[in-house]
Amino acid sequence: MSELKQAIEEIVEKHLPDENHFVVEVIIAEKAGKTTLSILIDADEGLNIQTCANVSRAVSEELEAKDLISSAYVLEVSSPGLDYPLNSRRQFQKNVGRELKVLRSTGEELTGKLLEVESSGVKILVKKKEKGKKATEEEVSLPFEDMKKTIVQVSFK
């Protein structure tokens, strides 16, 4: 992680309202001479817009005071959104009991219910359907390093 990115992450963590809130990712992007600083935060119990606004204001003030970014920049503070891949143990923990779609590093795709988060990975309950047979369920353990991309599946049931 670059020094600037790490410094910004530390500033954000300092301005989060409590230990239930956490930083998902800090993204610094340069396009056509314009810098965009995207800060993704989340919370164990859900995130509201007021928290994003408060964090944005506090982070902006501290960035200006410390003059960490010398050029003009756009600051965005938001939650990752449903289509954003899970990338931390804490995000997985928050989503226990929900349906996940996992793209493994082998290219195999699995869909199943997140049962448990362990120190080295997760357990999901996958339905296996063979032609002409009744569907069965199987627990699959997946190490974090084996998961290339993991998305929470939205259910409208």
Q: Which residues of 126-143 are buried (b: 16+ CB within 10 A; e: fewer)?
A: beeeeeeeeeeeeeeebe
pLDDT confidence of residue 78? 95
Q: Kindly report which listed range (4-13, 80-89, 98-107) carries the lowest average pLDDT score.
A: 80-89
Same domain as 66, residue 125: no
Total number of domains in the chain: 2
Domain extent for 142: 89-152
Q: How many helices and strands, by DSSP H and E, does the chain display?
A: 3, 8
Q: Give the whole-number percent of the chain exceeding pLDDT 70.
A: 99
pLDDT confidence of residue 18? 94
- CATH of residue 19: 3.30.300.70
State if pTM tops 0.75. yes
Question: Considering the chain, what is the average pLDDT of its residues?
Answer: 91
Same domain as 70, residue 13: yes
Same domain as 104, residue 72: no
The verdict on residue 50 lying in a domain is yes
pLDDT digits (tens, 9 = 90+) for 38-79: 999 999 988 999 999 999 999 999 999 998 888 889 999 999
